[in-house]
Structure 1
Amino acid sequence: MPLNWNDETIPSEADKTTDILGFKEIGGIGQLIYHPFRFKKYELDIDKSDDYCATPFCRPGYEPIFPKEDFLSGQGLLTSLCNLAMQINSFDNKIPYTQLIMEWCTNNMHPYNIDFIYSELNESLDINSFDAEMVEKDGTFEINNFLDDLGKLYNAVMFYVALEGVCIADDEAAYDLSKEGKYFEGYSFFDKYKHPIVAIPDDLDYGEAKGNLIEEMRIDNEYIKNHPAEKPPTGEFATTPYDDYDELRNALIDIIPEFTIKLKVDPRTNRLEFSTDINSVFDIAWLTLARMLSEDPAPEDKGKSDNRPEGIMIRCRNCGKFIIRKSNRQEFCDAEECQKARNARKQKAYRERKAIEKTQKSKKKAH
């Protein structure tokens, strides 16, 4: 039986003789099994290549933490990483990205070699032994590798957000997608839609070209030069990205990495499950994003009432922070300023609605 976003069984509507069958149709999507653990502190070092490295502390007083309930889900990790990227990428941010990355790791989860390091920690590790020193060595990671992985994920998510917007005639995210940040430069997929296209008239005179294709192209270019199209206002596209939605969606699909599925032991049940091979927090985040894409409605149905209101990542309409939506009407995060903006928006909509109703009543009385 297929499963919905909350892993609840739903009736299958697939025609098994003709339809593409995914994991959900053949008996449940591969599980996301990983072992979360945190180190209490990281030390910033410089390696032989003069790159910054973060080395975890695994020593007396700094014993690793193995959260059983207090850890982020896949959606939570994806959201948290995107918010970290947004903070690092902001020109207003004054905190060194090395510090922000290490703080994220201590507050959330060690980022790399998850299964391997977990196996080292889980074999009756003596915190005073040489084995603990080996954990510190194996847990060391290059900060710039984290930053690079973070940028790739963030750019893909921003591309996804932009595509979501163009489906409901909200082009703001798409228009600004290629805007350069402090460390990450967004994709330029939508830039071509900012430039107006000059239509070559069907009756353009090519007589002097005498059938020469190069001369005909020169005549075309001369016409375009002498008849420049009017540019739209800043913030508005000259042509419609939605017309190329399939092409743009395929570009996003190509960015998503491939995943390896294999049998793993689920620590909660001690049973074998088909699971995606997870080596880093970025594997978890990419898989979560891929599942969000697979759960998306068709482009023509976006903007309609959603039958899976919880667990979908959106951006707050006021501050831009990534959040997990609690209902299909949520548009703002819980921050006080954003709730004030939400209430102001509601009040404005209420006043506008009342003004329209008043005008309509006045017109009826006049007649």
Structure 2
Amino acid sequence: MDDVCRLGRAFEYYDILTSVKYNRNVEAGRNLYYEWKHCDSLAFLEHFLQYSDDEEYLKHFDEEYDNLFFNLLVMFPDFKLRLKQDKKTHNAELTAEIKSVFDIAWYTFARMVADVAPPADVDPDYEFSQGSILTCMACREYFVRHSSHQRYCSNPNYQATRNNCKAMAYYKRKKASTE
């Protein structure tokens, strides 16, 4: 039960931080703390309750946001990583060593937080410029991924390769389902 509480608290805290920071939802921050018979929430935002005015609340929240976000990051457990070879691409990949369902949940949550972590400089095109760096499966060049399913760069010369692989995979799936 302790693992569920720790994960739930961290996710709830992340959700509240993003809600207050990006949606300016002050009520979410004010209602974060609660007590439950199995576990209590964390009191990270409790000292902001002294600000009854929403603008003042947001001003102080924005000033302390980096520290609040750091409080979230230290809640994550350490992950053991190892190199493995991808059977499809034959490239070496860095993967997390998973021993329980909670490891999967924490790792997935960590990837989510890292993928949408706030930029160092506030950039109006941030949501379009952020992503993971991958190697294109066609040309082996590095590119910034814009979707969790993207495996090929956006170079038009390699779109035909991507489309052919996609069609071949569809054909194999369809053939396997009819057999």
Q: TM-score, normalised to structure 1's length?
A: 0.30
- Gapped runs of 5+ residues in structure 2? 132-145, 149-179
Between the aligned partners of 2:123 and 2:33, the Cα distance in structure 1 is 27
Alpha carbons of structure 1 residues 247 and 238: separation in structure 2 relative to 1, 3 Å: closer
Alpha carbons of structure 1 residues 195 and 151: separation in structure 2 relative to 1, 3 Å: same
Q: Which residue of 2 is the match for residue 243 of structure 1?
A: 63
The structure richer in helix per residue is: 2
Alpha carbons of structure 1 residues 238 and 250: separation in structure 2 relative to 1, 3 Å: closer
SS in 1 for 2:77: coil
Alpha carbons of structure 1 residues 241 and 273: separation in structure 2 relative to 1, 3 Å: same
Alpha carbon RMSD of aligned pairs, Å?
3.3
Q: Kindly tell me the number of residue pairs found equivalent between the two proteins.
A: 127
Alpha carbons of structure 1 residues 237 and 182: separation in structure 2 relative to 1, 3 Å: farther
Q: Which residue of 2 is the match for residue 150 of structure 1?
A: 4
Within the candidate set 39, 43, 46, 1:188 is matched to 43
Q: Which residue of 1 is the match for residue 97 of structure 2?
A: 277
Q: Which residue of 2 is the match for residue 298 of structure 1?
A: 118
Task: Give, as a single letter, the amino acid of the residue that structure 2 aligns with 1:186.
Answer: S
Q: Which residue of 2 is the match for residue 93 of structure 1?
A: none
Between the aligned partners of 1:265 and 1:184, the Cα distance in structure 2 is 41
Between the aligned partners of 1:178 and 1:310, the Cα distance in structure 2 is 34
Alpha carbons of structure 1 residues 264 and 238: separation in structure 2 relative to 1, 3 Å: closer
Alpha carbons of structure 1 residues 191 and 240: separation in structure 2 relative to 1, 3 Å: same
Within the candidate set 74, 82, 88, 1:254 is matched to 74
Displacement of 1:153: 0.3
Correspondence 1:30-45 to 2 at 5 A:
none
Does the alignment pair 1:159 with 2:32? no
Q: Which residue of 1 is the match for residue 33 of structure 2?
A: 178
Between the aligned partners of 1:301 and 1:258, the Cα distance in structure 2 is 30
SS in 2 for 1:292: helix
Correspondence 1:93-108 to 2 at 5 A:
none
Between the two structures, name the one with larger relative contact order (CA 8 Å, sep ≥ 6).
1
Displacement of 1:262: 1.4
CA contact (8 A) 1:263 1:273 kept: yes
Displacement of 1:195: 1.5
Between the aligned partners of 1:283 and 1:190, the Cα distance in structure 2 is 27
Alpha carbons of structure 1 residues 239 and 185: separation in structure 2 relative to 1, 3 Å: farther
Alpha carbons of structure 1 residues 194 and 301: separation in structure 2 relative to 1, 3 Å: farther
Task: Give, as a single letter, the amino acid of the residue that structure 2 aligns with 1:298.
Answer: P
SS in 1 for 2:82: strand
Q: Which residue of 1 is the match for residue 134 of structure 2?
A: none
Greater gyration radius: 1
SS in 1 for 2:83: strand
Identity of aligned residues (%): 30
CA contact (8 A) 1:195 1:239 kept: no
